[in-house]
Structure 1
Amino acid sequence: MTFDNENDVREYYTKYAKVKGFGVMRRSSNTDANGQLKYLTLSCTRNGKTQSKSRNMLKPNPSAGLGCKAKINIARGPDGKIYLSTVILDHNHPLSPQKSRLFRCNKRLDFHVKRKLELNDRARIRVNKNFNSFVVAADGHDNLTFGEKDSRNYLEKIRRLKLGSGDAEAVRDYFIKMQSDNPNFFSVMDVDDESRLRNVFWADARSRAVYDSFHDVITFDTTYLMNKYDMPFACFVGVNHHGQSVLLGCALLSNEDTATFVWLFQAWLTCMSNRPPKVVVTDQAKAIQNAVEIVFSDSRYRWCLWHIMKKIPEKLGGYEEYDHIKVDVGKAVYDSLTITEFEVAWLDMLEKYDIGDNEWLKGLYEHRHRWVPTFVKDAFWAGMSTTQRSESMNAFFDGYVNAKTTLKHFVSQYENALRDKVEKENIADFNSFNSTIPSITRFDIEKQFQSIYTNSKFKEFQEELTDIMYCERKLIQKEGAIETHEITEDVLIDEEKGWRKDIVYHVYFNEEEFEIKCSCRHFEFRGILCRHVLCVLTQKKIKEVPQKYILDRWKKM
């Protein structure tokens, strides 16, 4: 048999394979100096023997390779036509014409299918319902040339950053202008093989300067503007000495895969003089997690607790005892003061409701060190236990960004929004400089923090100080200079119903070395000086705490 070109022979062999019930793949080929095809091998998809790359030997990845010899070899003759030089028709495995449509070589999305997928996606129709409309129209899956996964892959591709007329030039001009205004402005533009803009990252001089002071904790989030305005906006957010969110860099992304996030994190790290943060908070996305582990391998990493708890209705709502399960999950997560308490409460909950086979809960438990408060309370998170910090920063763009905002318009509005943010911080700085919040007690410790902390942080300290009235202290053990105090706190559970509950905490205090430790998790929010520690210090009439317990990041500047 002879063919005019490669496409003809591929189409012929693929149709033959579909009728017989096997898949076709391009195995090897070669071209001459002019780029013309010299020879080509098309084989059955089960021809090779692939080694599993799974790290767990007990859970190897599936492989299609069976060493099947079925193939055709084609070569270009002197007359320019393509000839079949070898044909092997026998297979070493069963064939199934009924399953042929599922092979990759037989899948395709026609123009009208792509168009309808896009229109339905813009109408906010979920992908599974979008795909099901095609199944109904075709009278069954067997009559379709694509599957639901193909629909998802296509939509993810077309959702990438879309540039309108003049958008790329607007971004470039904006970066040039900012660079000329201040040499410390940093920007990176990532382009594809056809020189089309793919990803952009930038950070102004102020963001880079702020990171010098507040580089200990950052959150990274991509959800807010994407969900609300279909704009693939990602931001790095920190928290300043007033407890306000501060922007530490922005990006517009064309994709949300591991490679894109690795590119972004490396660009951001270069911008910040290759000084990684001490701790990082992100949502649960696998691609983000992979990139964090690659680029910020030495940083402490946690998942956003809010995003996880928000998924409970979706993941567990189908169970008959959902309402009780939800309450018990919350108790295990929020009420456990120690790792042991969490482990016992979690396993009891799984056994009580017979939900140990739930894959979502299995995954959460496997990675519990990344999100359960009692596992992460030893690190300081500056109050950023969730990415809501990022969302509050994104919300700051409300009024400047809407569903019709173009990229060209966004870069100009970005500067206006940032200017407002800086002004609010300046006002907070002035208020802390020009006014003092009066003391509410006669404790010397309060006066110490009144003179050091910003007004907003001193208010938080005062709240902890006043809450010691709900705490009762009892010395339960003393070995030399080391004391163990039991603090019983009267906690309001339900304000409307007036429900209260006594919760017991333990404070360990070495008066000689002035070492303090508390079993509560307030350290991640305010440092070690929680109400339980203050209950001990004030009753022991401690006049001043050492410098190591005064967080520099909360000081007036």
Structure 2
Amino acid sequence: MDGPLSSTGEDMGSFENPASNVETETDDIIQQNSDNDRVGEEPKPGMKFATEHELMAYYMRYVKQQGFGVITQRTKREANGRVKYLTIGCARGGKYHPSHSNISRPCPTIKTDCKARINAHLVEGSWVVTIVEIGHNHSTVSPQKSRFFRSHKCLDEYSQRMLDLNDRVGIRMNKNFGALVVDAGGFENLQFQEKDYRNFIDKARQLRLGKGGGEALTEYFKRMRLQNDGFVYVIDVDEELRLRNVFWADARSRAAYKYFGDVITFDTTYLTNRYGMPFAPFVRVNHHGQSILLGAGLISSENTSTFVWLFWAWLECMDARAPKAIITDQDRAMKSAIAVVFPHTRHRYCLWHIMRKLSEKLGSHAAFNAGLKTAIQNALYDSQTCGEFEEKWGQFIKKYGLCENAWLQGLYNERSFWVPVYLKGVFWAGMSTTQRSESMNAFFDGFVHFGTTLKEFVDQFDNALRKKVELETTANFNSSNQTIPCSSAFRIEKQFQSVYTNAKFKEVQREVWGMILCNCILISKECCISTYDVLDEITTDDDHVKSIKYTVYFNNEEVDVKCTCALFEMSGIVCRHALNIQGGMSLW
């Protein structure tokens, strides 16, 4: 009995299943390069081929030479699944049907309703071409450009093996692809593009568990569930039920988030780079300034869809309460995922990561150490308003001829994500960079090494967390059992001593001692609000001393102090400038 006739619209070169040992049927056919006397011959009705593969190999060579791509438009199968009829048509066949969601912003389309195609039947064990349409209603391309059509792309076994091996040892995607380009003698000699390679890596990357890793994870999750009902874990598998991503959080992390969940950092680089562990921790600092874990994941890739999955898993675990602020590095995939899952969360880039790139990106500039680096730092750290920053930025860009520098232009376009003056209105708990995440990752240094397997990591994970809990318990005891003496006669310092933990009170005392370096001047007084200029002497890393002017506003009626440095708003510590104002000394 004949099977149903279906319209598949299948692109002959689709990378839907790019596992390292699996290729599409068409790719197999292309690679065979079987000898055929009809090479270059135009298809005609009545042509016969011994097998479907021979038919496909002939036609694919023909269309590639003619400069167009193809798709399988229709197939008909017998009851046993064997194909007995097929139509292979131009990839530009069919009509474009816009969806209701994109009528105002239509997507590009290749569809022109082209009728070029061939039909073939299986007749007495041979494939016979029955219908041939040669003409196109659009222009074709040169044979050299045919490689851009999906039907002519082929990620061969050698390339798959090299890409996967290089990816496993941590070679970045762009360098990995670049090595193949050089090996092939140029882009034109590759049968695939960088986008196809990235798709292959994204889908071929599975969570590389190693021997015993899967069992270790399962046993760990079972053990934690028995010990604590508050333990939560989520597992993500692919279409073939292979483990792809994992997330978990214990009861302590979930409880801590209720108190310390306003701002978090998220970083995937440290253990991944150092140990090959795709570890993705959610981190916050507690009232002692210690890093605490608010959940963790093991991920197989770092693309937007993976981060979206992980963020949703974490958010659901935390009772759908999104953080008010989050700090990450400049990862585009993270940025896109945060916009999807945390649309109302203030997102900040790690300033430390950006500043670390200065030498790499601008070190070759003749004036880098002769004024340029200092000018950039002054614009970032000394600007009190957004307008002041933009003025200073524009000045050094013009002075040092950097108008065409793409890296700086990209940073400027995203200035609201990383420039301190744009972030002053948000509480960051003293976490200006993802170094907090790195300190959490560094906490595992005593428990993992370069050769650590996932099984060993899981076994050591509990030990590391128990040590972290012990450090917090010790800090709690010390703060309740020990007192750090006040360093001044100000009553306000005595009040701080009673409400801050010892670690945070030390930060307060640094500001109290910093008052010595400040010079306060009353600028104006209007009604109950006094305005002061406070000059602060700051010593830079190279022992250079510079004076920075801050403005402090004191509301006498509401007993409210506000400084343009915004240290209190961002870190919860009253700054030396606010402590210094003469108008409020009676209060202190």
TM-score by length of 1: 0.88
Is 1:176 the equivalent of 2:222?
A: yes
Q: Please, which of 384, 388, 394 is the counterpart of residue 337 of structure 1?
A: 384
CA distance in 2, matches of 1:441, 1:339: 35
- Give matches, 1:406-485, under 5 Å: 406-485=453-532
**1 CA distance for matches of 2:121 and 2:517?**
89
- Whether the 8 Å contact between 1:50 and 1:63 is mirrored in structure 2 is no
Query: Which residue is equivalent to 1:90?
Result: 135
Distance 1:227 1:30 in 2: 51
Please report how far the alpha carbon of residue 223 of structure 1 lies from its aligned counterpart in structure 2 after TM superposition. 0.8
Please state whether the residue corresponding to 2:266 is helix, strand or coil.
strand
Distance 1:136 1:425, change over 3 A: closer
2:553 match: secondary structure:
strand
- SS of the residue corresponding to residue 444 of structure 2 reads coil
Q: Is this contact kept in 1: 2:245–2:297, CA < 8 A?
A: yes
1:274 is aligned, of 320, 323, 336, to 320
1:257 has 2:303 as partner: yes
1:111 equivalenced with 2:179 (yes/no) = no
Q: Matched residue of 2:540: which SS?
A: strand
1:209 aligns to what? 255
Whether contact under 8 Å (1:68, 1:93) holds in the other structure is no
Identity, % of aligned positions: 51
Tell me the alpha carbon deviations over residues 197-256 of structure 1, each in whole angstroms, 9 at most, x when there is no partner: 111101111111111111111111111111111211100001100011000001001121
- Do structure 1's residue 238 and structure 2's residue 238 form an aligned pair? no
Instruction: Give SS of 1:202's match.
Output: strand
The CA distance in 2 between the partners of 1:380 and 1:43, in whole Å, is: 59
Quote how far apart the aligned CAs of 1:290 are.
1.3
The residue aligned with 1:489 is 536
Name the residue aligned to 2:411: 364
Quote the Cα distance in structure 2 between the aligned partners of 1:32 and 1:329.
71
Which of 373, 377, 382 pairs up with 2:420? 373
With 351-360 and 139-148 compared, the bigger mean Cα shift is at 139-148
Cα separation, 2, equivalents of 1:484 and 1:84: 89
How many residue pairs get aligned? The number is 539
For residues 145-195 of structure 1, give each alpha carbon's deviation from its aligned partner in whole angstroms, at most 9, with x where no partner exists: 344554455445554421223322221111011000111111111111211
Shift of 1:482: 0.9
Written as runs of structure 1 = structure 2, the 5 A alignment for 1:125-204 is: 130-131=176-177, 134-135=180-181, 137-204=183-250
Distance 1:45 1:77, change over 3 A: closer
Change (3 A) 1:62 1:192: closer
Alignment partner of 2:577 out of 525, 532, 539? 532
Map 1:32-43; keep pairs closer than 5 Å.
37=83, 40-43=86-89
Q: 1:490 offset after TM fit, Å?
A: 1.7
Q: Deviations over 1:39-89 (max 9, x none)?
A: 544333444676999x9999x899462626253243655767655454322
- Which position in structure 2 is the counterpart of 1:18? 64
Provide Cα deviations, 1:89-127, integer angstroms capped at 9, x if missing partner: 223214201222343322323333333344445566565
Q: Give distance in 1, aligned partners of 2:76 and 2:580.
A: 79
Shift of 1:364: 2.0
Map 1:291-310; keep pairs closer than 5 Å. Answer: 291-310=337-356
Within the alignment, does 1:503 sit opposite 2:548 as a pair?
Answer: yes
In structure 1, how many angstroms separate the alpha carbons of the residues matched to 2:583 and 2:220? Answer: 55
What's the offset of the Cα at 1:331?
A: 2.0
| 8 Å CA contact 1:72, 1:88 repeated in 2 | yes
Any stretches of 5+ residues in structure 1 without a counterpart? Answer: 544-557
* 2:397 is the counterpart of 1:350: yes
Kept after mapping to 1: 8 A contact 2:520/2:582:
no
Task: Verify the 8 A CA contact 2:95 2:113 in the aligned structure 1.
Answer: no
Looking at structure 2, the residues matched to 140 and 333 of structure 1 have their Cα atoms a distance apart, in angstroms, of 42
2:117 is matched with which residue? Answer: 72
1:514-529 maps to which residues of 2 (within 5 A)? 514-523=559-568, 525-527=570-572, 529=574
- 2: CA distance, partners of 1:126 / 1:248: 29
Which 5+ residue runs of structure 2 have no aligned equivalent? 1-46
Task: Give how far 1:374 is off.
Answer: 0.3
Question: What is the RMSD of the two structures over their aligned residues, measured on CA atoms?
Answer: 3.0
What is the Cα deviation at residue 351 of structure 1? 2.4
Residue by residue, what CA displacement relative to the aligned partner does 1:483-526 show, whole Å, maximum 9, x if unpaired? Answer: 11111112223564xx3221111011111022322111423543
TM-score normalised to the size of structure 2? 0.84
Contact 2:92 2:113 in 1 (8 A): yes
Contact 2:166 2:176 in 1 (8 A): yes
Per the TM alignment, residue 357 of structure 1 is displaced from its structure 2 partner at its CA by 3.2
CA gap 1:539/1:130 in 2 versus in 1, 3 angstroms: closer
